[in-house]
Amino acid sequence: MTLTAADRGLIVACDLTSQPELERVAAATAGLDFVRGFKVGVLLALSIGLRRACEIIRRHGRQDVIYDHQKFGTDIPDICGGPVLGLLKDIGVTQVIAFPFAGIETLKAFASGCRKHGLEPIVGGEMTHAGFLVRDGGYIADTGPARIYQDAAKLGVQRFVLPATKPQSMAQHRKVIEGVCERPVFMFPGVGKGQGGDIVEAFRQVEPHSAYAIVGRGIYAQPDPGAAAAGLWESVRRAEG
């Protein structure tokens, strides 16, 4: 199986705690045409501030800034679909990730709130680590992720987070989403040295749709983040042939 010409690329996960670190990573990667976005989360929000993080990224490139609250979607609807989304838009965020484990009403509020504030909602249902689902000793029902993805697609969500460490789950969730959403976009963390997912295999599991690998330590923790990103992307391009 070969990769298709659907839009795809890398998203740099900036799990960093200082301005110099973010400057270094953004400067090295924002000019790469296959880097389509930067994911920022609570570490930067608590250390240098989310607004400042967005300003730094914008200084180096115009890619999407994706906010991952780690994990947004576990509170009441009024919180997950309320004023916080307007604040994120004002700060400079363009897309927001939620794992709506708090239930369907929280998912509905999140999706409608994002539309109200001009943000792109991204929904995840299954995480990358072991011990997450009931069948693996965890707390989340085995059927829960599929229900989340299906309900999100029915609400008009088009972007979804899948676990690259679990190729079989990726394929199963892709089929569920395809049954509702005509042109889904997939994002997947868990590739590379940190969690061990295979980047090429992950892209194959979501063919022929647009897809983006979310990569953190495999880029920002390397001596040359730009070269590390280019090496990862070259491994994907080689698979095309």
Phi then psi for 179, rounded to 5 degrees? -70, -15
Give residue-wise pLDDT tens across range 53-107: 999 999 999 999 999 998 999 999 999 999 999 999 999 999 999 999 999 999 9
pLDDT (0 to 100) of residue 192: 72
Residue 88 tokens read as 């994120």
pLDDT tens for 204-226 read 999 999 999 999 999 999 999 99
Separation of alpha carbons 139 and 241, rounded Å: 42
pLDDT at residue 241 is higher than 90:
no
* Cβ neighbours for 113, distance < 8 A, ≥ 6 positions apart: 80, 81, 82, 85, 119
| Mean pLDDT taken over the chain | 94
Residue at token pair 């900036």: 14
Of the candidate CATH numbers 3.20.20.70, 3.90.45.10, 1.10.3720.10, 3.30.9.10, the domain formed by 8-240 belongs to 3.20.20.70
Q: Are the C-beta atoms of residues 34 and 233 closer than 8 Å to each other?
A: yes
Say what the pLDDT of residue 205 is. Answer: 95
193: pLDDT strictly greater than 90: no
pLDDT of residue 100: 98
Give the Cα separation of 179 and 160 in Å (integer): 14
* Separation of alpha carbons 90 and 86, rounded Å: 6
Look up residue 73 and give its two tokens: 């979607």
**Bond prior to 71 in cis (omega within 30° of 0):** yes
Q: Which residues contact 103 (CB under 8 A, 6 or more apart)?
A: none
Question: Going by C-beta distance under 8 Å and a sequence separation of 6 or more, which residues neighbour residue 221?
Answer: none
d(C-alpha 65, C-alpha 119), whole Å? 11
At 64, the amino acid letter reads D
Query: Could you tell me which residues come within 8 angstroms of residue 197 by beta carbon, excluding any fewer than 6 positions away?
Result: 128, 163, 164, 165, 188, 190, 191
- pLDDT of residue 1 exceeding 80, the answer is no
Q: How far, in Å, CA of 110 to CA of 156, rounded?
A: 12
Question: In the chain, count of helices (H) and strands (E)?
Answer: 11, 8
